[in-house]
Amino acid sequence: FQYSDDLFGADRAFNICWYEPYHTLLPSKQVQLLYLWDELGIPHQHEKQLSGSSLTIIGFVVDANCLTISLDSAKWEELISFISWFCSLAPIKHPLKEFQRLARWINWILNIFPLLHSGLFSIYQKTADKDEANLYIYINNAICSDLHWLLAHLHRQQDLLILEDI
C-alpha cells in the first residue's frame, strides 16, 4: 500500500532482521527496501521507519489486529466540536477561511468515510467562486442541515471495521 511518499506493507511479526545504519530490528521486507534505497542513494530518515500492528497514517489509527481504521479520540473530539461550533452560530457568519478549514477537515475524514461526501455539498456551493480569505459568509439552513446530518453519521461510527466493509 502506498500513500504519497509513504509505503506500507505487511510482514509476520517474527520476521525481523537487523538494520545496521539505524542499529535496530525492523521487519525484513522493510530492511530490504531500506538497503535498496541505500544502494540507489535515496535518502530516508530513521524516525519515519515505523512498524507495528497499529500505526498512525495521515492522522488515522490503522490497527491490523482489530482490522479497524479510526481517528484517535482527541482528534475525533476536536472534529466533532469544530463542526458543532461552526453550525451552532446560525445565522451568524464566518470568514471564508473558516469555511475552507471546515471543508478541508471534512474532506480529510472522507478518506475513511467516503459515503459522507454529500455533507460537503452546501459548503462547496456557498463558497464557490470566492477567494478573499477574510470575506464573511452567512451560514444558511442548507449548511446547518448538511452539518447536522454529517454529525449524526459521525456519532454513530468512529471506527471503520475493514473486514466488515471489504
Global pTM reads 0.72
pLDDT reading at 158 higher than 80: no
pLDDT tens per residue, range 91-108: 688 999 999 999 999 998
Residues ≥6 apart with Cβ < 8 Å to 89: 139
**Average pLDDT score, the chain:** 85
Q: Is the model more confident about 164 or about 107?
A: 107
The whole-angstrom separation of Cα 151 and Cα 84 is 8
Omega within 30 of 0 (cis) for the link into 114? no
Helices then strands, counting H and E runs in the chain, come out as 6, 10
The whole-angstrom separation of Cα 109 and Cα 153 is 12
pLDDT reading at 72 higher than 90: no
What value does the mean pLDDT take over residues 3-24? 80
**Percent of the chain scored above 70 by pLDDT?**
88
- The sign of the torsion formed by the CA atoms of 41, 45, 58, 86 equals negative
pLDDT reading at 116 higher than 80: yes
Q: Which helix (H) or strand (E) holds 6?
A: strand 6-7
